[in-house]
Structure 1
Amino acid sequence: MKQVSTFEIIAARCWNLLNEGKPFTPIFVLGVFLLYHLQAWTDGSFWSSAGMGLLMILPLLAIYYCFDFPLMLRNYLWLPLIAAMLIWDYADLKLYYLALGLFFFFTIYFWGTFYYHLRIGTSWWNFTRFWKLVLKNSDSTSGNAAEQMPKFLLLLFIWQHFYTNFQVMGISDSFTSEILWPLVIFTACVWLYSYVLHKNLFDWKPSETEGFTSNAPMQKTAANEKVIVIVIDGMRKDRFEEADAPFLKNLRANGTEYTQMETVYPARTVVCFSSMFTGTYPREHGIRSNMVWSLGIKVESIFDSLRKVGKKGRLLAIAHLIDAMGDDVESITAVMHNDLADLKIIERAKKIMEEQNPDFLVAQLIATDQTGHSRGALYGEYREKIEEADKLIAEFVGWLEARGMMKNTTLMICADHGQADGIGGHGHLDEGERYVPFFLHGPTIKQGLRVDEKQSLISVAPTVAYLLGAPYPSHSRGPVLVEAMKSHE
């Protein structure tokens, strides 16, 4: 299987600037405004007037960068736009038609069709479904039409208003209290409005565990020779229940299932993996979205812990996890037909086990997540990818057993997050995102046990450390999942 190239790593980072909602909004607004005024670029007064107009909206850009408006909060974004249209001049309809046209072209065709066709082989006709996914998506990405539209329309409306004033009246004559005070008051009101909304309505974040891991003493001797974690990226819990997945469901029935396993917030892949394998929250490990501004986690990972006792771990994953976990990632290309992606990943996992024989392996299966993003999580194609993962994992475990690698191995199956309706959005814990499938199986794991108490994915790292006789990562806060251990009967 092809390894990830430097170009792909850089391209993935650039793409996240357009995928994540926070950077997308200012990039899109700037691009649309400059494109609309393309013919004026040779006029020196354009740049001074446009620059001063941009200065006028910078505080609003900062507010919309700091405050997300996902889920039902996005409905409140239309009120500032209506208020602005009552305060200032009528809209320049050509500018807004251009903005709306470019937005839907970018999301529905360039992203939903062209990009996914080149990257994972989605049909050239994907736009016939993707438009519905963009309208439904509730998460704060660029593909959330109901959040992005009122944001960029408001910003363009005010920018165009002040640009026109500066062009007609001149910059010096426009800086009067009569012109500026309405904007100052409006911006302050938008900030207060955003603050009050988030203070009173943004209340769905999971509670955090206080203190460090302490519910089980660190083990001096390992309970297992190996631990293998298979993460089916983006697998919804309810869709897994609907899927025909006999092997995984048999593992679950003969192991220990945690029925209320909660992901972290925000439920982005890089954030979730960072929390799973450090045992702590984004505020500590420093990874807060898929757009990683400062490379590398800020705390110890389970891979660091294993090195302290002379053991080796590998994370088999696509390019964007390198930004968080660095050299512990065995990178794979994400540019391949989605029908082949998980097959190729399992083939690479076999090669790693055969050539490197790590004590700890994590394999990220990506086809389910990519189907959710490109075709939607509530359609048959998504469930079929879960069923394909079941067959591939069954084949991989059989391959391991034939080589004697499962005799004293714990197998952990989970998802990093679920997926919501729309473009398989995830991050802000809409329905289908928050709770994930999670179960363990192996000779040291209790059989037929269901644990219904709420748990968190931050327990993965300390549990792996416990099973392999390694110290807990430095900032590990998740409790060890001792309920599953036969030694605690």
Structure 2
Amino acid sequence: MKKASSFEKAAARCWNLLNEGKPFTPIFTVGTMAIYSVTNLGNSGFLADFLLGLLAILPLLVIYYVFDFPLFLRNYLWIPLVAYLIIWNNVNLGLLFTAVGLYFFFTVFFWGTFYYHLRIGTSWLNFTRFWKLVLKNSDSTSGNAQEQLPKFLLLLSLWNFSLSEHIWAGAEIGQLILFYVGVLLFSWILHKNLFDWKPKVIPTYTSNVVATTRAINQKVIVMVIDGMRKERFEEANTPFLDFLRKNGTEYARMETVYPARTVVCFSSMFTGTYPFEHGIKSNMVWKLGIKVESVFDSLRKVSKKGSLLAVAHLVDSFGSDVDTFTAVMHNDVVDRKIIERAKLIMEEKNPDLQIVQLISTDQTGHSRGVLYDEYIQKIEEADALVKEYFDWLKEKGMLENYTFIVCADHGQADGIGGHGHLDEGERFVPFFMYGQAIESGKVVEEKHSLVSLASTISYLLGAPFPNKARGPVLNEAIRKEVLINDAAKGDRISSSS
């Protein structure tokens, strides 16, 4: 399997400008106005008027960038548009129909059909389903029609109004300022009173056990089935994953982080903390690299090695600790190729910690939706591949003293497999641990967070916790005869069965 090329890494970052809702809104608005106005390019003063119009809507662009309107909050976005119509009643239907047409061309045909066909082999007829997914998608991405439509319809109407009425020379400028103040207050009040579903932040750093350099395990394997929605996993036929969780310890209420974007989730899982601390706040990473220690840094302190086999996006967080694979591959074969690459890395590097990201389930959710049979099929294929890899590791003698962890980084909501703002299906993820040191047949019902993964891995491998790790070690899963803490000595006695 090929590594992600430098071009693919750069292309992935560029694509996020169009995928993430925050940068998409201004890019699409400016691009639409430019396309609509192309016939005026030769007119005297056109460029000055164009830039003045952009300046006129700049405050609203900033408001829409600062404030997210995910889930049900997107319904409130129509109120400023209605207010505009009441105050100014100035509408350019040609411009607005052009914008709507361009939007659905981009999302349904360019993204949902052309892009997915070239990258993962989705059918040329994918548009016959993708338009329905775009209309239902609830997350703050460019593919959320119910959020993007009222945003760009208002922005373009205000821009066109500023050009036709020459607001800079009249009393309209005062009305426009008052309008923006009203939208700002409206947005602030909404978010202060209704934006209340974020998970609670763990306020202290990891302290429920004492970190030492005595390892419980020689090796920890983490299989992350990207985007595996919990209840759909329960519906799938997954005999091997069911064996692991029933003969290990399952965390029934394992919560992902906010926002539940892949790069954010992985950054939190393997640093043990949240975006405000590690600095990765979306898949669109403006400044490369996490700001805190990762579990890979912790392992280096005790001369141990970690490997993360993942897509190019995760280089933005973890840099050279990522063994990349190309995501430009048919979705029916990509997970198979990932497993083959994982075997090669294990043979060549023999890392003490190996993290493997399987992406086919997530990509199916994004391209075909999560409430269809194709999504279940990919979970079942992941089950077979994880079993194959587990059996291969045993055959090679690499599972003598180990913990095997299976989880998802986030779930997926309806629509285009949206995830980020914790709609139904996103918040709680499958999570279970298996191995000689892990309790058998145990289910932990208390709520836990994926930020506990970094400190738990460090604890199992006898490494210090990452310097900003907040998640408690998942010690409910560790067998009592193995987990013997001596608070006075700060020591740990380990054994294996």
TM-score of the two chains, using structure 2 as the length reference? 0.96
Task: Measure the CA separation in 2 of the matches of 1:4 and 1:43.
Answer: 46
Indicate the residue corresponding to 2:165 in structure 1. Answer: 165
Which residue of 2 is the match for residue 250 of structure 1? 243
How many angstroms does 1:222 deviate by?
0.6
User: What is residue 104 of structure 1 aligned with on the other side?
Assistant: 104
Matching residue of 1:90: 90
> How far apart are 1:488 and its partner, in Å?
3.6
CA positional deviation for 1:202: 0.4
Residue 210 of structure 2 corresponds to residue 233 of structure 1: no
In structure 2, the residue matched to 1:65 is 65
Once residues 263 and 207 of structure 1 are traced to their aligned partners in structure 2, the CA distance between those partners, rounded to angstroms, is 11
SS at match of 1:44: coil
Q: For residue 249 of structure 1, report the CA deviation from its aligned partner.
A: 0.4
d(CA) in 2 for partners of 1:90 and 1:443?
A: 70
Instruction: Please list, as runs of the form range in 1=range in 2, the aligned pairs for 1:341-380 lying within 5 A after superposition.
Output: 341-380=334-373
The partner residue of 1:268 within 256, 261, 276 is: 261
| Amino acid aligned to 1:150 | P
Q: What amino acid sits opposite 1:175 in the alignment?
A: A
Q: SS in structure 2 opposite 1:441? A: strand
Provide the secondary structure at the position in 1 that maps to 2:45.
helix
- C-alpha distance in structure 1 between counterparts of 2:354 and 2:222, whole Å: 6
**Greater helix percent: which structure?**
1
Pairwise CA distance, 1:356: 0.5
User: After TM superposition, which residue ranges in structure 1, 4 or more long, deviate above 4 angstroms?
Assistant: none
The amino acid across from 2:160 in the alignment is Q
Distance of 1:43 and 1:140 partners within structure 2: 37
Query: Equivalent of 2:467, from 474, 477, 485?
Result: 474
Match of 2:78 in 1: 78
Residues 105-137 of structure 1 show CA distances to partners (whole Å, capped at 9, x for unaligned) of 000010000000000000000000000000000
1:35-434 residue pairs with structure 2 within 5 A?
Answer: 35-166=35-166, 174-176=168-170, 178-434=171-427
Q: In structure 2, how many angstroms separate the alpha carbons of the residues matched to 1:466 and 1:236? A: 28
Q: CA deviation at 1:50?
A: 1.3
Q: Which amino acid counterpart does residue 366 of structure 2 have in structure 1? A: H
AA at the equivalent of 1:190: V
Q: How big is the shift at 1:39? A: 1.0
Inter-partner Cα distance in structure 2 for 1:426 and 1:354: 35
Shift in Å, 1:85: 1.1
Count residues in correspondence: 482
Shift in Å at residue 158 of structure 1? 0.3
Q: Which amino acid aligns with 1:303?
A: F
Amino acid at match of 1:434: R
Distance in 2 between the 1:476 and 1:44 partners?
A: 59
What residue identity is the alignment partner of 2:157?
F
Say which is worse superposed, 202-211 or 81-90, in terms of deviation.
Answer: 81-90
Q: Provide the identity percentage.
A: 65
Look up the SS of the partner of 1:364 in the other structure: strand
Structure 2: unaligned runs, 5 residues or longer: 485-497
Give, in whole Å, the separation in 1 of the partners of 2:16 and 2:213.
42
The equivalent of 1:15 in structure 2 is 15
Q: Comparing 423-432 with 215-224, which one deviates more in the overlay?
A: 215-224
Q: Deviations over 1:291-316 (max 9, x none)?
A: 00000000000000000000000000
Query: What is the distance in 1 between the residues matched to 2:300 and 2:42?
Result: 60
Contact 2:293–2:468 (8 Å) recurs in 1:
yes
What SS is found at the alignment partner of 2:332? helix
| Correspondence for 2:490 | none
User: How big is the shift at 1:41?
Assistant: 1.2
**How well do the aligned residues superpose, as a CA RMSD in angstroms?**
0.8
1:30 is matched with which residue?
A: 30
Report whether the alignment pairs 1:456 with 2:449: yes
2:77–2:150 CA contact under 8 A, matched in 1: yes
Distance 1:320 1:41 in 2: 38
How big is each residue's C-alpha offset from its partner over 1:446-477, in whole Å with a ceiling of 9 and x where there is no partner? Answer: 10000000000000000000000000000000
Letter in 1 for 2:390: V
C-alpha offsets along residues 378-405 of structure 1, whole Å, 9 cap, x if unaligned?
1000000000000000000000000111
In 2, Cα distance between the equivalents of 1:44 and 1:373? 46
Q: Which runs of 5+ in 1 are unaligned?
A: none
| Matched residue SS, 1:210 | coil
Report the AA paired with residue 109 of structure 2: Y
Distance in 2 (CA, whole Å) between partners of 1:181 and 1:264 is 42
> Aligned with 1:387: secondary structure?
helix
> CA offset at residue 175 of structure 1?
2.7
Contact 2:452-2:470 within 8 A present in 1 as well = yes
Conservation of the 8 A alpha-carbon contact between 1:89 and 1:161: no
Q: Give, as a single letter, the amino acid of the residue that structure 2 aligns with 1:68.
A: D
CA contact (8 A) 2:307 2:321 kept: yes
Bigger drift between 214-223 and 437-446 goes to: 214-223
Q: Verify the 8 A CA contact 1:240 1:386 in the aligned structure 2.
A: yes
Give the Cα separation in 2 of the matches to 1:33 and 1:101: 13
Please list the CA deviations of residues 240-294 of structure 1 after superposition, one character each: whole Å capped at 9, or x if unmatched. Answer: 0000000000000000000000000000000000000000000000000000000
Quote the Cα distance in structure 1 between the aligned partners of 2:14 and 2:44.
31
Q: Is the 8 A contact 1:4 1:319 kept in 2?
A: yes
